[in-house]
Copies of this chain bind each other. A is one copy, B any other.
Amino acid sequence: MVDSWQEGAAKSAIVDFVARVTKEGGRDYVPPAGRIATFDNDGTLWCEQPVQVQVFFLIDRVKQLAAKDPSLKERQPFKALLERDYKTLLSHGKQGVMELVAATHAGMSEAEFEKIATGWFASAKHPKFDRLFTKCTYKPQLELLGYLRENGFKTWIVSGGGVDFMRVISEQTYGIPREQVIGSSTKLRFEIKDGRAVLMKLGELNSFDDRDVKPQNIGLHIGRRPILAFGNSDGDLAMLRYTIGGSGARLALLLHHDDAEREVAYDREFKLSPLAEALDKASECGITVVSMKRDWKAVFD
């Protein structure tokens, strides 16, 4: 069930935890309703290098827009995006990127956005791994999601990525229904358009689902403290600590990208979403660090 996980401390921690919380009559038993597992997406369930999947989508979206309005090619941060000048792009920070996302995703209905993103995912490929982005998911993680669900868990995504963007692929890619996806979001406006009720996506940020906002959004959407959480960056630390902070058996996991051969080795220097504090505090906080290199037999399918 978790065959791509190497025998070792991380796999044991997972298998032991699941056995404990599902053992009826056991001291650590958790009824199915309480078996909430939350996963970050970028860098935890799929590849986020050299930039997050949604940034590639953004580039292609801006290309489409620039074909109609060439002046965009000279305006920042559109210029940086089109020239794949990640340094300038990164200088806008994570929140800046999300605001850019909001700007390019706005002024259309949910359904219109859905159509655009669906079309993109059908053919867009990762430049390094030369495969569809939906195939840039980590095999051991897909197995883990399935394993948890087989054991009565509800699996959720809690990501800094755009919620509408992830919902396009969450069901087919991860087996996670749209309503179990929490992410960054733009504000929506209810409108009657040509006699039909629609939700319009506005160019205003509603929630930037990162760091402390992750547990806050878990409180809003789920209303229950997860018993298992999995992340890979400092943006996940609050969620991991929130998960561990409950009573009873808890498991918090942190993926360390230390595998330059099969993926990319990075942590502190990844400006868009660094891993530093979480790695330093992992042991003290009771977070289990997963080494991609040592703990995974395979990375991609």
A179 at the interface (CB under 8 A from B): yes
Whether A179 pairs with B241 at a CB distance below 8 angstroms is no
A164 at the interface (CB under 8 A from B): yes
Assembled-state Cα–Cα distance A18/B206 (Å): 35
CB contacts (< 8 Å) of A198 on chain B: these are 245
Copies in the complex: 2
Whether B212 pairs with A190 at a CB distance below 8 angstroms is yes
Whether A185 pairs with B220 at a CB distance below 8 angstroms is yes
CB contacts (< 8 Å) of A190 on chain B: these are 212-213, 215-216, 238, 242
Whether B163 pairs with A223 at a CB distance below 8 angstroms is yes
Whether B33 pairs with A196 at a CB distance below 8 angstroms is no
A257 at the interface (CB under 8 A from B): no
Whether A196 pairs with B164 at a CB distance below 8 angstroms is no
Assembled-state Cα–Cα distance A220/B189 (Å): 11
CB contacts (< 8 Å) of A180 on chain B: these are 179
Least Cβ distance of A132 to chain B in Å?
22
CB contacts (< 8 Å) of A187 on chain B: these are 216
A177 at the interface (CB under 8 A from B): yes
CB contacts (< 8 Å) of A163 on chain B: these are 220, 223
Point out residues on A near B: beta carbons under 8 Å: 33, 36, 110, 154, 163-164, 167, 171, 177-181, 185, 187-190, 192, 196-199, 206, 212-213, 215-216, 219-224, 238, 241-242, 244-245
Interchain residue pairs with CB less than 8 A apart (8) = A33-B177, A167-B223, A179-B222, A187-B216, A190-B238, A196-B245, A197-B241, A199-B219
